[in-house]
Chain A
Amino acid sequence: QKEVEQNSGPLSVPEGAIASLNCTYSDRGSQSFFWYRQYSGKSPELIMFIYSNGDKEDGRFTAQLNKASQYVSLLIRDSQPSDSATYLCAVRSGGYQKVTFGIGTKLQVIP
């Protein structure tokens, strides 16, 4: 069973701080890694994806991938109250179309 593990939270950070969200995965054959944001009652929306070891930056967001440790993280700089949502880590294994999601970490940004 290919698993994606996340701490469900909530993770509370003050406005303007850095939020750090973490995810581990079990399948060493995983090739693509995604972070989605999901507001309550809404569908997941893509924040960013990464498939090479290291960091990938997009505006206030940085995704970090370490395949040796089977670990992917998302940093949100200058957190805003509008960032309050559940952040879903998702993983695609090589040779498969299926994307497996974690439970998501609920982030609360306190004004």
Chain B
Amino acid sequence: EPEVTQTPSHQVTQMGQEVILRCVPISNHLYFYWYRQILGQKVEFLVSFYNNEISEKSEIFDDQFSVERPDGSNFTLKIRSTKLEDSAMYFCASSERFTGANVLTFGAGSRLTVL
């Protein structure tokens, strides 16, 4: 069964450092997403990406965050200068289309710990 793969599974970083989280979406999917989940809290939308540009973003997705699709397969989330409150599980997801059910398939997640 096709899956979304994420690397790294766990990253520990110092406050103020840059972090890049990587994702390989399902190959025939066109829409890509980043969500995050702080421990014990909701899964929160960060950004959606289609046709090589951001299509929607949340208030959380400020200037410290950026996304990129550097080649035909990878989709990355960059956090420029990490804060303690960025510690969370970051989930990449992809979907085949926008209309209708728009079912999201999630990757296993990347746990980010900021010290």
Residues in A lying within 8 Å of B, measured CB to CB: 32, 34, 38, 42-46, 49, 51, 88, 90, 92, 96-104
Least Cβ–Cβ distance between A86 and chain B, in angstroms = 10
Contacts A/B (CB < 8 Å), 29 sampled? A32-B100, A34-B101, A34-B103, A42-B108, A42-B109, A43-B106, A43-B109, A44-B104, A46-B103, A49-B101, A49-B103, A51-B100, A51-B101, A97-B33, A97-B50, A97-B56, A97-B95, A97-B102, A98-B45, A98-B56, A99-B45, A99-B102, A100-B45, A101-B35, A101-B42, A101-B43, A102-B42, A103-B42, A104-B42
Least distance between B105 CB and chain A CB atoms (Å)? 7
**B31/A97 in contact, CB under 8 A:** yes
Residues of B within 8 A of A (CB): 31, 33, 35, 41-45, 48, 50, 55-56, 58, 91, 95, 98, 100-109
Q: Which residues of A contact B31 (CB under 8 A)?
A: 97
The listed residue with most B CB atoms (<10 A of its CB), out of A51, A92, A99, is: A99
A103-B104 CB under 8 A given contacts A97-B55, A97-B98: no
Q: Which residue of chain B is the closest to A34 with respect to CB atoms? A: B103
B34 to chain A, nearest CB (A): 11
A97 x B48 contact (CB < 8 A): yes
6 new A-B contacts at CB < 8 Å, known A32-B102, A51-B100, A98-B45? A32-B101, A43-B108, A43-B109, A88-B43, A97-B48, A97-B102
Complex CA–CA separation, A46 to B109 (angstroms):
15
B residues near A90, Cβ cutoff 8 Å: 43
Query: In the complex, which residue of chain A has the Cβ closest to the Cβ of B47?
Result: A98
Cβ of A49 to closest chain B Cβ, rounded Å: 5
> Smallest CB-CB separation from A88: which chain B residue?
B43
Task: Judge whether B104 and A46 touch: CB under 8 Å.
Answer: yes
Contacts of B33 in A (CB 8 A): 97
